[in-house]
Chains A and B, each alone.
Chain A
Amino acid sequence: MNIGVLALQGSVKEHIKMITSVNKKIGVVPVRTIDDLASVDGLIIPGGESTTIRRLLDSFNLGTPIRERILAGMPVWGTCAGLILLASHIDGESAYFGSLDVDVKRNAYGRQIDSFVADEDFDGMYMPMVFIRAPMITRVGDGVTTLAEHDGVPVAVRQGNILATAFHPEMTRDNRVHKYFVGMIDSKD
């Protein structure tokens, strides 16, 4: 199995380290080109600045091929900026991949001083969740399952082959969300 981490900007190294900690036999590919993308069975879109990442995706013609792979069923997981890029509606700006039927609002929890850590339940697993200038999920579509909530607001959602988290499991020592994503790729084969 090969898992790609979109490697244009952001928490790339951390995701690579976490996937390796789940299973050393998994190949982890930093994805910067169409050829890199073709070699992976699943893709993680890391945390970072969504404006920067979408700009680079467009400049290097990676947006359309990734959107097509998602439509064709490739498991994909967006953390924070990745969630924003996957959402079908972004408050105040145009959607990017638009694959996940949720509305998001960028920086809705506030500025850096409002960033926080919370302990919450993710699909039956209690874990620390790190929110950094996080986006808020303001609407969840009918076909979307909420896997975690904080203060009654969804912070992790799944729609078929698409997983998205407003928080950063890659910034903790807890690799259970990474295991969950590897499981999504396993069960697809």
Chain B
Amino acid sequence: MAVKDEIKAASNRKLLNRNLAQMLKGGVIMDVTNAEQAVIAEQAGAVAVMALERVPADIRKDGGVARMSDPKMISEIQKAVSIPVMAKVRIGHFVEAQILEAIKIDYIDESEVLTPADDMYHIDKTKFDTPFVCGARDLGEALRRIAEGASMIRTKGEAGTGDVVEAVKHMRKMRSQIAEVSALPSEQLATYAKDIGAPLDLVRAVAKNKALPVVNFAAGGIATPADAALMMQLGADGVFVGSGIFKSSDPKRRAEAIVKAVAYYGDPAILAGVSYGLGDAMRGLDVEGMSEAERLAKRGW
């Protein structure tokens, strides 16, 4: 291939991977641990599923090292549903990512929910044809991940807690930083980029477009239709629900309700209707009472 064609192919791949995330907008991505749950999620209207061995609430409870799921379990889920299938790898574990690419996963989540494999470096995601989604707590972290090749961003929130407060904090932080950088005179952008630890070209792009260059979903603590609609009203492009569905008393109904709440997030009458008699939400953990060591969001940088 001529150099020019290679550059074109690489830029097409970047575009296609960002575009798949655009197609997921206004949708709900649900954590599932087997094919049966994946089918429930698809029938409830999920736009994608995240295949993992244990939902974050169980990872917290069980402790131990959390790793990429068994490819056999992921393949069973791929066979069971027609929607995109995502799966998680440990931060920095590029071989787990190579394995997921080999089984043609649709999206890789380099996730703080799993135990980090590298305490210095995230994966160089530009080396992969498969798209990546990464967690972020603020604009600097989001742009560092995008610079490494992420095609989609999600707030970290605090996974496995059912407490939405951290997701709200991260989404608000990103939105206010985007507003802030958009209002800066151009000569201040280099210093701003240095202060938040992000590449200048991406900071310039955010300032110009008043938006991240990729889709930004909310994740980490969403347990109810109201939580999901809250994140949408705060500017999320869609939501990830991890433990919130299959740790509730009626997963099927809750999954359907959250899908409807995301589509009609601005309509309180519909939100009231879908919230009606849903049964118990996951019990949850108050993030305020957690020690620093228990917090997953501080993994990654």
Contacts and interface: CB of A to CB of B under 8 A. Distances in A.
B27 A52 contact: yes
Interface string B99-139: 00100111100000000000000000000011100000000
Query: How many of chain A's residues touch chain B, expressed as a range?
Result: 35 or more
Interface string B1-31: 0000000000010011101101111110000
A154 interface: no
A56 B25 contact: no
A132 B15 CA distance: 10
B47 A9 contact: yes
Interface in B230-258: 256
A117 B42 CA distance: 27
A27 to B, nearest CB: 19
Contacts of B165: none
B228 to A, nearest CB: 13
B132 to A, nearest CB: 11
A115 B260 contact: no
B42 A116 contact: no
Contacts, number: 107
Interface residues of B, number: 36
Contacts of B104: 110-114
Interface stretch (A10-18, A65-73, A96-104, A179-187): A10-18
B140 to A, nearest CB: 25
Contacts of B24: 48-49
A168 B15 CA distance: 12
A95 interface: no
Interface in A1-38: 7-14, 32
Contact of B130 (A10, A112, A132, A133): A112
A88 interface: no
A14 B19 CA distance: 11
A49 B47 contact: yes
A32 B69 CA distance: 38
A95 to B, nearest CB: 15
Contacts of B256: 55, 59
A9 B263 contact: yes
B59 interface: no
B68 to A, nearest CB: 18
B259 A111 contact: no
A107 B25 CA distance: 19
B84 A112 contact: yes
A133 B25 contact: no
A140 interface: no
Given A52-B45, A52-B46, A9 B17 contact: no
Nearest to B267: A32
Contacts of A13: 25
Given A52-B47, A111-B84, A115-B16, 15 more contacts: A10-B26, A14-B22, A47-B23, A49-B23, A51-B83, A52-B46, A52-B83, A81-B23, A110-B104, A112-B84, A113-B106, A113-B129, A117-B15, A130-B15, A168-B19
18 contacts: A8-B26, A8-B263, A9-B27, A11-B25, A12-B26, A32-B264, A47-B23, A49-B48, A52-B45, A52-B83, A55-B44, A56-B260, A59-B260, A112-B106, A113-B106, A113-B130, A132-B23, A133-B106
- Shortest Cβ-Cβ A-B pairs, 6 listed: A55-B45, A112-B106, A9-B26, A49-B47, A117-B12, A115-B16
Interface of A: 7-14, 32, 47-49, 51-52, 55-56, 59-60, 80-81, 106-107, 110-117, 130, 132-133, 168, 171
Interface of B: 12, 15-17, 19-20, 22-27, 42-48, 82-84, 101, 104-107, 129-131, 256, 259-260, 263-264, 267
